[in-house]
Amino acid sequence: MNLQNVEKIFNSLLKDSLGFEIDIKYDENLITAAAFLQCKGIDDGVFLKIGVFESSAFFITFVLDKLEYSSYVSKLIFDFNAHSKWLNCFIRDDGYLVFEYAIRYTTEDILEDNISFILNEFIQDDIQKYLKPLTELTQAE
C-alpha cells in the first residue's frame, strides 16, 4: 500500500472531516496517525492510534486511563469482549485500558470506510452499555 496515499486519507477523514488534531509518523513500512479525543458517554480522554503497513495490514487502538485489575474488572472485560464483534478489550502491562481492532487487511479504496466503521462502532449504544462500566472505574494518572 502506498503510505503517502494513506496519509492523504488520514488527513481527509481524521483532520478535515472529523476535526481531529492528528500527529502522523512514518516508521519504515508503517504510517500511524494519533489523536486525543472525547467520545460521547466516556468520561476519559481517549488516545486514538491508527496504523497502516505497506503490506496493507492495519490496526486501530483506543487507549483510556489506567484501570486496576480485579475479578470484577475481569468480568466487565469479559462481558465487553463477548458483546463486541470488532473490538477487543484488555489492560496493558502498564495498566492502561485498551480497546483494539485487531490487525486486518484493507485496500486504499476501502480504508476510509473501515476506519469510519470502527470509530462509529466504539461509540454505539449497544457497545456503550459494556464500555461505560469500565470507563467509570478508570483513574487518570
24-56 pLDDT tens trace = 999 989 999 999 887 766 666 789 999 999 999
* In a domain? residue 39: yes
* In a domain? residue 16: yes
Contact residues for 117 (Cβ-Cβ < 8 A; gap 6+): 86
What's the confidence (pLDDT) of residue 35? Answer: 93
Contact residues for 23 (Cβ-Cβ < 8 A; gap 6+): 33, 34, 35
What's the confidence (pLDDT) of residue 14? Answer: 92
* In a domain? residue 83: yes
The total of structural domains in the chain comes to 1
Supply the range of the domain harboring residue 127: 3-135
Closest residue by Cα to residue 40 from 119, 141, 137, 140: 119
CATH code for the domain of 7: 3.30.1460.70
pLDDT digits (tens, 9 = 90+) for 65-115: 888 899 999 999 999 999 988 899 999 999 999 999 977 788 888 899 999
Grid cell for residue 80: 465487553
What's the confidence (pLDDT) of residue 49? Answer: 95
Three-state secondary structure of 71-120: HHHHHHHHHHHHHCCCEEEEECCCCEEEEEEEEEECCHHHHHHHHHHHHH
- Confidence (pTM): 0.89
* In a domain? residue 48: yes
* In a domain? residue 23: yes
pLDDT digits (tens, 9 = 90+) for 109-137: 889 999 999 888 887 778 888 888 888 88
